[in-house]
Structures are given as C-alpha cells and as structure tokens.
Structure 1
Amino acid sequence: MTRPLEPSLPDEFPADRALDVLIPTRNRPTELAVTLSGLAAQASAAGFGVVVSDQSDAAPPWTDPSVATMVRVLRHAGHPVRLTRRLPRRGLAEHRAYLLDQSAARYVLYLDDDVWLEPGTVDRLLTAITELGCGFVGNAVHGLSYLDDVRPETHEHYEEWSGPPVPEEVRPGTPEWNRARIHPAANLLHVTAERRLPDGQWRAYKVSWIGGCVLYDRARLRAAGGFDFWRRLSPRHQGEDVAAQLAVMRRYGGAGILPSGAYHLEAPTTVTERDVEAWEVVLADEAAREPATP
C-alpha cells in the first residue's frame, strides 16, 4: 500500500527557477498519471518544478498509487512537485490564476491534465521562447485517433514566422482567427509530415490561440492581465486560455512550435458546464472601454 505524499516544502520553489509546469486537474487520476509520466521523461536542463492543483469531487488524485508513483519519480529526479487543492470551484480562469500565483519562475508551462509530452518537448519549447523573445509559445495537441483523417483544406491556414513574432491583434471574423483550424484532430501532424524537418529543427508559426500545452513568459503574462478577468465571468465558462493568449499576443506576440510533442489522451471532458466563452466577455469589455470614434 502506497504511503501518503507530502504536499511540498516552501523552499523547493526558489524565485530564480527557470520553469514551473502548472497543471490544473479534476476527476482524472488515470490521465494525470500519464501526463506526469510524460514530464518525468523530459531530460530537461531547466530543472523545472511542477505544481498540481486539484478540484476533484472526491479524494485528490495523488491518493491513487499511479499518480503518487509518478510524483515520486519526478521528485527523485530532482523536480520539486507541489500538490494543492483549490476549492470551491470558481471556474477555469480562476483556477489558472491561482496556479500562476504559485510560481515565481521565469517561464510557466500550462499543461492540461490529459496531455502526454514526448521526450525533448520541454527543452524545445524553452529554446523557442528564448530565441523568439515573444510572450508565449505552444504545442497544439495531436489526436491520434484522427491520424488517417487528412483534411488538406485546413493546411492553408499554416503560416510560418519569417522572423521573431511581432505583436498582433487577432479578432473574430478576421483571416487570422481561422488559424485555429490547423489544430483540431491530427491536422498539425499532417502539416508536420509535409515539412519533412530534419531531426532537431523546429519552426515557429502564426496562431490565433493554442490549447493544452502553452509556455508563457510569466512576467509578460502578468503584464497582459494574466487570468484576473475571472472575476468578471460566470464560473460556467470556457475559452479562458484564448482570452489570455489574445491579450499576450496583442502586446508581445506569440507562436506555435512545429513539430509538436503534445498528444491528447482524448478522454471525456470533466468540464461539462460551459455556458460562457471567456474571450467573448473580455473582448466585449475591451470594446466598451475604448473611446468612441468621432
């Protein structure tokens, strides 16, 4: 029988850490164990820490032996892991805001609790954001059950950055908004196969937003407002990551990174109450604050 886990020690997360991985989770011990296993396989020189924040209806997932084991593997490899609970639930954006408050690292990687990362993914993302100097980079997640479902009409929305990303104001109804069409299913895998990149090479491409695996410059995310807009939302929302990324892109630019090493576990969602799009509320508030054109 597995022994109880220690939540963490405060001095394990120094302010000069390069990277913390932030994982919000709810009712997904099996998926979380797989997600943590992907992190444990990262031979990263960054010495990253991990913060898991749980909102499960019953016992926290680290009471499950598989999750507990992967936490211990990470700690044994020198990666501190902080285990927290954030209850009552106040919505996805508030949960992400809480996780951001747990870190003082240079960069924060928001990783969903149903995403497995192949080895080398974390270092590639860190290399990309360091070289590009933008507000965020991300790996869109692949759905391998769609591997044989090729959708060439979506590939036209792939466009690489020819230099460092620049600030963009991406809004609904614009061609830039349609960039998101390359991310569902296995579309990005098919785009990647067409590029035939040599091993070790990567490309930065233009995005509207990315879900599941996004690395932010933490200071820039905070300067753009972070997820503090949660106070203006009903708890029954989605699209909080879209709202945050639109704000960061507007100031600092952002990029997707190809190839992506993120794979979606394609598990059923645990967030079934999604009555509000957070980005719609945030954009409407911004429009209301803008001065009227004379």
Structure 2
Amino acid sequence: MALVDVLIPTYRRKTGLALVLASLVNQTFQDFTVTVSSQTEAEDDYLESPEIRTLVQLLRLRGHTVRLLRHWPRHGMAEHRQFLLEQSQAPYVHFLDDDVVLEPEVMERMLQVIQREECGFVGCAAIGLEFINDVRPHELAWFEPWDGPVQPERWTPETIPWERHKVNNAANALHLAQRYCRDGQVIRYKVAWVGGANVLYDRAKLLEVGGFSWWPLLPVEHAGEEVLAQFLLIQRYGGCGILPSGTYHLGMPTTILNREHNATDLFAQLITQLDHTADNEQKG
C-alpha cells in the first residue's frame, strides 16, 4: 500500500489533466498511487488520448499504480469526491483538481506538515499568475500564521471567520511566500478553508467526519463541497494552509456554472449530528 492516494476528478479538461499528471511525474515525493475519475461525456472522452496515455505510462514506469475510471451518472462534485474517496486505501488522500500545475516539492512539503501536526488536512492555495502584479494589502492583512501546533477551532455557523478566505485569492499566496518564506522555511497559516484544488487529507479523519457522504442532501448543481468538509475537519482536528504554495491555477473556465446551492448551508446540521454522535460515544 502506498502512503498517499492521489485522487483526481476530471470533467472536460484534457489539457488540465495532462498538466497535473505531468506535475506528479516530477514530484520529489513518490510513494503514491493515482486514481483519475472522469465524468466527461463518452463522445468527448479523453482518458485514452495519446497525451494522457503517455503520462499514465510514464507514471507506471516510475512504479506508481494508476487507475483510470469513468463514473456515471453525474450527481455533483460532492458525490464525485465521495466516489473517489471510496476507492482509496492509503493513510492519506490527496485531492487534486484538473486545472492546476505543481512545483516538484509540493507533495513532500504537504506530507511533512500533516504528519507532524496530525491535523485533518493541509492545503495549498492555487495561485493565479495573471495576478502576479496585483498586490492586495487589504487581503494580505488577513494572513495569520499558526504560532505553535495546529489546533481544532470550534466555530458556530455565526462565528465562521469567512474573511480568512481572502488570503487565498488571486496571487496572494505567492506574494506572502515572497515576503515571509526564507531558506526553505514552510509556514502554516490559519484558514476557513483552502479550496479544493490541492488538499492533502488524513483519510481516517476525513472519513470520521463523514467524508462527502452527505452528497444526497444537495442538488446535482452545487458548489462548496470541499469547503464544508474542511469546516468539519477544522472543528475536530484542525487544518491549515501552507506557504510556499507551489500550486498554480491554469486559468481555465469553471465547469460549475450554477452556484446557487452551496454545501456550506449544511454546516449547522452536520456539526450538530457529529457533536451528538461524539457525546453518545463518550457516554457509552
């Protein structure tokens, strides 16, 4: 069994998938498997295209198990992530979106932090390089490094620190790393969530808070499923973002056009259920 299962949901993004797979080939950390799950329509299926096939063969040549799956019908991103989670067995699961490219040291840094902190997740914000000259002091002001170990943060729906998300906008993660990271230093910082593009989870902890199994409570068209999962993990185990991010957004258009329904609306219901379960376990 590998230490990390890399899980990649893909939909209508052949170029993006090829680039993220190429990023995996060159990682300094190499003890991982890869599972790609596509929901692209059959007539546009690209999993057997020359580009993807070559990169899959190269990953296998490097000793990695690679699985290419097609998952239908579509029930939304939460269900797709739950499906991928159910394919995993490793102690850690690394969700990667199909529209990012990673620097070679990214996975190694993330794994070192999550093993040391024993928290629920470690994420790297995706940097938009089109904003490289757009420095935003009003958003950088929300940057708050962890002083000491990463700890759980017990929020209510009314006290979620939503403003923290501003730290991960545009190219803020790059500007912060340029300012604070010296001589290979890795900085952990507080997040409300760190997005879903590049997040390493402790698999057992993610399963304990339900993974994405609450997907039937959502309509097919929804957003925010990774935000809700991270909310729940922060409550129990803590989570953090890290700098340098080394993660770059490819600038592709979103494939989630309807964002009227957000999974975060379920937070109050799910955290109440988890607290009730924990109370019963303590009494038992």
After TM superposition, the score normalised by the length of structure 2 is 0.92
Percent sequence identity over aligned pairs: 45
Extract unaligned runs of 5+ from structure 2.
277-284
**CA RMSD in angstroms, aligned pairs only:** 1.8
Assess, with a 3 A threshold, how the Cα gap between structure 1 residues 158 and 283 changes in structure 2: closer, same or farther: same
Q: Which amino acid aligns with 1:210?
A: V
How does 1:163-202 map onto structure 2 within 5 Å?
163-170=148-155, 174=159, 176-199=161-184, 201-202=185-186
Q: Which amino acid aligns with 1:61?
A: Y
- Equivalent position of 2:224 in the other structure: 239
CA distance in structure 1 between the partners assigned to 2:274 and 2:231 by the alignment:
17
Q: Which moved more, 1:275-284 or 1:227-236?
A: 275-284
- The alpha carbon displacement at 1:63 in A equals 2.1
- The alpha carbon displacement at 1:275 in A equals 2.4
Aligned residues: 274
- The alpha carbon displacement at 1:191 in A equals 1.1
Assess, with a 3 A threshold, how the Cα gap between structure 1 residues 218 and 289 changes in structure 2: closer, same or farther: closer
CA distance in structure 1 between the partners assigned to 2:269 and 2:257 by the alignment:
24
- Equivalent position of 1:72 in the other structure: 57
- Equivalent position of 1:49 in the other structure: 33
CA distance in structure 1 between the partners assigned to 2:58 and 2:154 by the alignment:
42
- Equivalent position of 2:281 in the other structure: none
Q: Which moved more, 1:21-30 or 1:172-181?
A: 172-181
- Equivalent position of 1:5 in the other structure: none
Q: Can you list the C-alpha shifts for 1:169-224, whole angstroms capped at 9, x where unaligned?
A: 3456547221100111101111111114212x201110000111000000000001
Q: Which amino acid aligns with 1:252?
A: Y
SS of the residue 1:63 aligns to: coil
Q: Which amino acid aligns with 1:31?
A: G
After TM superposition, the score normalised by the length of structure 1 is 0.89
How does 1:202-281 map onto structure 2 within 5 Å?
202-211=186-195, 212-281=197-266
Alignment match of 1:120 (pick from 83, 88, 105): 105
CA distance in structure 1 between the partners assigned to 2:213 and 2:169 by the alignment:
27
Q: Which amino acid aligns with 2:33?
A: G
Q: Which amino acid aligns with 1:235?
A: V
8 Å CA contact retained: 2:222, 2:256:
no
CA distance in structure 1 between the partners assigned to 2:274 and 2:104 by the alignment:
45
8 Å CA contact retained: 2:145, 2:188:
yes
- Equivalent position of 2:282 in the other structure: none
